[in-house]
Amino acid sequence: MLIENEENCQFGTKLIHAKTGIEGHYGAVNVPIYQVSTFNQEAEGNNGKYDYSRSGNPTREALENTIAQLENGAAGFAFSSGMAAISSVLCLFESGDEIIVSHDIYGGTYRVLTQLFSRFGIKVIFVDTTNIEEVKGAITAHTKGIYLESPSNPFLHITDIKKVATLAEDHQLLTIVDNTFMTPYLQRPIDLGAHIVIHSATKYLGGHSDVVAGLVVVSDEQLANEVKFVQNAFGAILGPQDSSLVLRGMKTLKVRLDQQQKTALELANWLENHSFVEKVYYPGLIDHPHYPLASEQASGYGAIISFTLKDEALTSHFLKTVKLASVGVSLGGVESILTHPATMSHASIPKEVREEKGITETLLRISVGLEEGVDLQHDFEQALQTFASSFSV
């Protein structure tokens, strides 16, 4: 049941009572799953709101309306994966265009930019977007957009979104922000001046490692029309079953992230003081170089920690011996997920480029789940100490 003045409610309430635009049947408290491919039309030339589910589906529309409200955007769009969302946004650019992109970025994004869209004459300029002077210096007459991850993947660098968006506005460029790590609960890039926000909804928004999805939110109606055209023409849409799973997962986003962030900070501090750990990357640590900006720009620090161990053999042993954390790709689930970027999330980046970026064999990334923090620490400790008992580090 909807309540009056939902826009004045706190974020956790909005998650439950967003205006989906879809009327429930028989008093249903959740949006029905419209598992249909086509819709009956009353008469020729008098088509209804929906005609074919690639072009529009009520369950998908409910999700799209929800994410648009949560990100304070003009419209939302749901895609079949995070990469489908990213690729669909990149379809807004043309041959000869240049895009400035964060130097530290997800491997799949790097791959699609350098190996796919490069075929169509789109040039990518990688810069350290945390340095506004580098961004400014990279702008040419052909630059059409700036693509950011903040926090970045995997090193959790923080870019000043407002400064970059202001610079982009001065040069009539699109500002695109991948907000997967933070979600609209912790950070809303459109409020900071961004034009387009992208999510891999597979991660925190879905939250249960049981759905693959992507979401896009735009800041104005013109962009909405452009993205809608690409979504319908390209056709990489999210199905109604998966749309329903994301809608369900989003209802618990706040309570999940509140707990995950609490545990992440405890674990980051523990890792920082461990003798086998070389370096910890987490913006919630006071000694993180971008801690003041992270505190100003967002309402939390997320639940992703990257860290390096002191030895490659130790890293290999740790991955094989840890028990509570799943070892694999992805993040944002209720279970902790431990990733080895060099062979998993960033494996598509050439080895020499990975190493230049600092993505070495000893780098690990942990997506902190809902396990008790003390149990995660005990598990990590046993994995490290069993190595110590067999080898000298």
Is 54 noted as a catalytic residue in this protein?
A: yes
> Taking each helix axis from N to C terminus, what angle separates 221-234 and 82-90, rounded to the nearest 10 degrees?
110
pTM of the shown model: 0.94
310 pLDDT higher than 70 = yes
- Tell me the HSE value of 347 on the side-chain side, using a 13 A CA sphere: 7
Among candidate residues 345, 58, 82, 60, the one with its CA nearest the CA of residue 201: 82
Name the residue ranges covered by the structural domains of the chain.
6-250, 253-388
Q: Which of 19, 50, 54, 111 is catalytic?
A: 54
C-alpha 368/C-alpha 376 separation (Å) is 9
What DSSP line would sit under 129-148, residue for residue?
TTSHHHHHHH--TTEEEEEE
Under CATH, domain 253-388 is a member of which superfamily?
Answer: Aspartate Aminotransferase, domain 1 (3.90.1150.10)
DSSP H/E element including 215: strand 214-218
Q: Which of 160, 178, 242, 311 is catalytic?
A: 178
Report pLDDT digits (tens) over 259-289: 999 999 999 999 999 999 999 999 999 999 9
| Buried-exposed string 383-393: b where 16+ CB fall within 10 A, e elsewhere | bbeebeeeeee
243 pLDDT higher than 90 = yes
1 pLDDT higher than 70 = no
DSSP-derived 3-state class of residue 72 = coil
Q: Which of 14, 144, 188, 203 is catalytic?
A: 203
How would residue 42 be classed by pLDDT, with cut points 50, 70 and 90?
confident
Mean pLDDT of all residues in 317-346: 94
DSSP-derived 3-state class of residue 296 = helix
- Tell me the HSE value of 178 on the side-chain side, using a 13 A CA sphere: 30
> Taking each helix axis from N to C terminus, what angle separates 253-272 and 373-388, rounded to the nearest 10 degrees?
30
- Under CATH, to which class is 6-250 assigned? alpha beta
Q: Which of 14, 104, 106, 188 is catalytic?
A: 106
Higher pLDDT, 8 or 317: 317
Neighbouring-strand partners of residue 237? 79
- Detail the DSSP E strand segments found in 282-342: 304-309, 326-327, 337-339
The reported pLDDT for the residue numbered 2 is 42
Mean pLDDT of all residues in 205-212: 98
The reported pLDDT for the residue numbered 180 is 98
Is 106 noted as a catalytic residue in this protein?
A: yes
